[in-house]
Amino acid sequence: MGLISQRLEAMEESATIAMAQKARELKSQGVDVISLSLGEPDFKTPDHIQKAAKEAIDSGKYFGYPPVPGYPDLREAIAKKFTEENSIPSQAANVVVSTGAKQSLANIFMSIINPRDEVIVLSPYWVSYADLIQVAEGKPVLVKGTIENDFKATAAQVAAAITPKTKALIYSSPCNPTGSVFTHEELKAIADVLQGNDIVVIADEIYEHINFTGKHVSMGSFPEMKDRVITVNGVAKGFAMTGWRIGYISAPLTIAKACSKIQGQFTSGANSIAQRATLAAITSDLAPTRKMATEYLKRRALVHDLLVEIPGFKVNMPTGAFYFFPEVSSYYGTSVGDYKINNASDLCMYLLNEAHVSLVTGEAFGSPECIRLSYAASESDLKEAISRIKSALEKLS
Ligand code: PMP
Ligand code: GLU
């Protein structure tokens, strides 16, 4: 009998984290790697948020265990944010603050899934959804959008995937890895096909503030869905706070209580100082957040113009987040020297080793024909990286 549980043996390592680690290792050996693998803002956490954290330390009031679901004033503020900014009716009791949106998602799946329950995952999907569902003994059912439809699965596809075992549906909008944003009509159509079925929707809105359509739509704001939607959000992306590790949800009361119960056993309340910083983030002016989003928008144009120049890449125009997700399968079957490119993972390893650019295979997101490029990097790094990618690809035949 192996030491490691079958549950863990069956689980994949997070491909985003694994690729970022490979890039770090090469960098530590002195290789000039440009890392476009990790979805991580390259900005600093805004000053006023840093200041709030320093004040929290200096006050001496926040050194003890915080309440499991979060400080009451932070939960109040988050509920107000959901209600006023997203039209999601929410009260402090509906809110659970966790160690990153990743823990929020893990709490949710552990709270609602029974063995063999199916969870419809709009695909391409964020890397951890499928594995977290499987760890909770559920079955991810991928419903896949195509590049022609900006990678957005349709309501008709969702309808066809529903079975008596369907427990939940999860999507992200703006989407990681595609950068797509679902419109009101598209989400409404999906909500309509869910009516009459006992299905919980998990709406991952962590890229809310990086949305170039000017309109962020929450399914939790639809009156007919108010008891069925769990909205996940966090401060990592919009406030450049990935390392602070704070995510949060608004959920129907029974689910919020269940998430708090499991969190009480797994980790307890999230880091106290980071919670105080989060309070500052979500209650103050969004100007620094908007400034970062404007910067991403500029880079999107730059990266798009460079990527469409690469022969064999099929590229769409993402409308949010900070990723491109080009279709690259025209390179499968090519080779150079000892490198044989049979899939997206081969291509990413080739580009890491030969072009010294780290990217993530689309396989990790349910799209083996694609690779993901994060453009949360400086313009000069982006230009250099794409030029290196282009040159390395030219060698393949
Ligand atoms: N959801 C999506 C769509 C993400 O891209 C990420 C990556 N950060 C997360 C959840 C997890 O966020 P956090 O860093 O707050 O755990
Ligand atoms: N969400 C980021 C990404 O997709 C961070 C990595 C992770 O948490 O897996 O790259």
Geometric angle at alpha carbon 197, from 196 and 203, rounded to 5°: 110
Which atom of ligand 1 sits closest to the CA of residue 126? 3
Whether 10 shows a pLDDT value over 90: the answer reads no
Span from the CA of 326 to the centroid of ligand 2 (angstroms)? 18
pLDDT digits (tens, 9 = 90+) for 198-254: 999 999 999 999 999 999 999 999 999 989 999 999 999 999 999 999 999 999 999
| H or E segment and range at residue 122 | strand 118-123
The residue contributing the CA closest to ligand 2 atom 5 is 39
d(CA 94, CA 83): 11
Span from the CA of 397 to the centroid of ligand 1 (angstroms)? 37
Residue listed under structure tokens 């490691």: 4
Are 75 and 95 contacting, i.e. CB atoms less than 8 angstroms apart?
Answer: yes
Phi and psi of 145, rounded to 5°? -90, 155
pLDDT digits (tens, 9 = 90+) for 97-107: 999 999 999 99
Show the domains of the chain with their CATH numbers: 6-44+288-393 (3.90.1150.10), 62-283 (3.40.640.10)
Does the beta carbon of 87 sit less than 6 angstroms from any atom of ligand 2? no
Count CB-CB contacts under 10 A for residue 247: 24
Model's pTM, two decimal places? 0.97
Does the beta carbon of 127 sit less than 6 angstroms from any atom of ligand 2? yes
Outline where the chain has alpha helix (H): 6-9, 15-28, 47-59, 72-86, 100-112, 128-135, 155-161, 184-194, 253-266, 272-283, 287-307, 344-350, 379-394
Which atom of ligand 2 sits closest to the CA of residue 126? 4
Does the beta carbon of 178 sit less than 6 angstroms from any atom of ligand 2? no
Residue 12's pLDDT band (cuts 50, 70, 90):
confident
* Dihedral angle, C-alpha 99, 249, 212, 171, nearest 10 °: 100
Span from the CA of 242 to the centroid of ligand 2 (angstroms)? 9
Are 232 and 195 contacting, i.e. CB atoms less than 8 angstroms apart?
Answer: no
Does the beta carbon of 236 sit less than 6 angstroms from any atom of ligand 1? yes
Q: Which ligand is nearest to the CA of 16?
A: 2
